[in-house]
Structure 1
C-alpha cells in the first residue's frame, strides 16, 4: 500500500453519524498488558484504574476516529492523555523524591515530544504510518508520565514551581502559534473538516485553543500547588 493509499490507524475520516469505536486487537491487548503490569507495582490501584480507563477511552472510543477528521479532536485526545490519564497513573506509581535536575530533564523531554509531534511533517506521518501513530502516542504518554511522576513528588517545591510554569509557558506558546497561524498547517485535514462545520483553519484554531487554555490551566495549577508547598514550609524553616 502506497502512502497515498494508506488508511490511518483509526480508520478513514468519518462523516457525522459515522463515528465508531476502535476495537483493534493489538491496542486492546497492549492496554490490558499495561494495566496488568501497573497493577502489580501500583501503590494506589484506584488512581491506576481511573487513569487507565481514561487512557483506554481516549484511544478506543469514537474520539480516535474523530481525530482523523479533525485536528482539534486529535489535540483533545492528546490533552486527555497528557493532562488527565498521565497524572492519575503517575500518582498511582511508587513514590520517590525527584531532584531538580531530573525534573528539569523530564520537562525538557515533555516539551520536545509535544512540539515534535505537532509539527506538520511528523504529524502528517502518523496518518500514513501505523508505526508513527504508535510512536506518537507512546512517546506522549511516556513523557507525560515521567513529568507528572517527578512533578508530583518533587523534593524541592521551587523546582516543581519552575517546571510547572515553564511547561505551561511552552505549551501555551505552541497553542498560541497554532491559534494565530495565518493558514492551515496540517495537510491531512485539508478536506476532512468541512463536513463537521469547520474550515481547516478554524479547526486548527480550535485545536490551538484546546492546547493553550486547558494545558496552561493544568500546569499553572501545578505551579500554584508547588508554591503553596513552599509557603507552608517557610514557617518551619524560619523556626529552624
Structure 2
C-alpha cells in the first residue's frame, strides 16, 4: 500500500539477498565490511522505508542514498580488489556511468516505469547499486595511490548530484505523477515532497563526494610537499 509502514518480507527478495551474498562471498576481502554493507542494503529494501518510498518521492531518494552512500562503499571495501590496478580512465568511466544512471532513474519517464513494472523497479535498484559499487571501488582503491584521479571524479560526482538536486528542488511544479495523491497523508504536497527529495540529493549526496574529493586533495598536497 502506498505509504504503508509494514516490513517487506517477500520471500523472493530474501532469496535474492541470500543468493547475492553467497555469490559475493567468493570475492571477499573484508568480511566485516561486506556483511555490514549487505545488512544496510537489506535494511533499505526490507524496512518500512521501502514501503514509504511508494508514497513519497523524498523517501525514495532517501532509500537510494542509503544504498549509494552507505551500502555501496561498504560492499566496495568488502570485495577483493580487481586484478588490474585502478586507472584514471577507469575511475572516470565509473563516475560517468554512475551519473548517467542516477539522472536516468530520476527522470519522469523511467521513474514512472518503476511503478508499472517490477522489472523496471529492480533494474533501477540493481543498476544504481552496481554503478555505485564500481565508483566507490575506484575512489577508495585509488585514494592513497592516485589522488590526482580521485579528485576530479569526486568533484564531478558531487557537482552532478548537486545539479540534480537543484533541478528537483527548484522545479516549478511536480514532475512525478505516481505521487500526485500519495503525499497528502504525510502532510506534504507533491511539490513539497519533491523539493525535500531534491534537498536530500543535493546536500548529503553532494557533501559525501565533496568529502572524497577533499580527502584526495589533501593526499595530493602532502605528496607534493614530500616530493619537494
| TM above 0.5 | yes
Aligned-residue offset at 1:230: 0.7
Q: Which runs of 5+ in 2 are unaligned?
A: none
Q: Secondary structure at the match of 1:225?
A: helix
TM (norm. structure 1) is: 0.91
Aligned-residue offset at 1:108: 0.4
Structure 1 residue 42 corresponds to structure 2 residue 28:
yes
Q: Secondary structure at the match of 2:174?
A: coil
Q: Distance in 2 between matches of 1:228 and 1:92?
A: 25
Report what 2:118 is aligned to.
130
Q: CA RMSD in A?
A: 1.0
Larger displacement relative to structure 2 (92-101 or 45-54): 92-101
Q: Distance in 1 between matches of 2:216 and 2:173?
A: 38
Structure 1 residue 157 corresponds to structure 2 residue 143:
no
Report what 1:25 is aligned to.
11
Aligned-residue offset at 1:110: 0.1
Structure 1 residue 87 corresponds to structure 2 residue 73:
yes
Q: Distance in 1 between matches of 2:81 and 2:27?
A: 11
Q: Choose from 139, 145, 169 the match for 2:159.
A: 169
Q: Secondary structure at the match of 1:43?
A: coil
Structure 1 residue 185 corresponds to structure 2 residue 172:
no
Q: Distance in 1 between matches of 2:77 and 2:227?
A: 27
Runs of 4+ residues deviating >2 angstroms? 235-238
Q: Distance in 2 between matches of 1:94 and 1:231?
A: 28
Report what 2:129 is aligned to.
141
Aligned-residue offset at 1:95: 2.4
Q: Distance in 2 between matches of 1:203 and 1:56?
A: 25
Q: Secondary structure at the match of 1:47?
A: helix
Aligned-residue offset at 1:225: 1.3
Larger displacement relative to structure 2 (186-195 or 227-236): 227-236
Q: Distance in 2 between matches of 1:79 and 1:121?
A: 21
TM (norm. structure 2) is: 0.96
Aligned-residue offset at 1:236: 3.2
Structure 1 residue 210 corresponds to structure 2 residue 183:
no
Report what 1:100 is aligned to.
88
Report what 2:59 is aligned to.
73
Q: Distance in 2 between matches of 1:161 and 1:118?
A: 25
CA deviation profile, 1:45-86 (whole Å, cap 9, x unmatched): 101111110000000111111000000000000000000000
Report what 2:97 is aligned to.
109
Q: Which runs of 5+ in 1 are unaligned?
A: 1-11
Q: Distance in 1 between matches of 2:41 and 2:222?
A: 34
Report what 2:210 is aligned to.
220
Q: Secondary structure at the match of 1:127?
A: helix
Report what 1:234 is aligned to.
224
Aligned-residue offset at 1:156: 1.6
Q: Distance in 1 between matches of 2:212 and 2:24?
A: 24
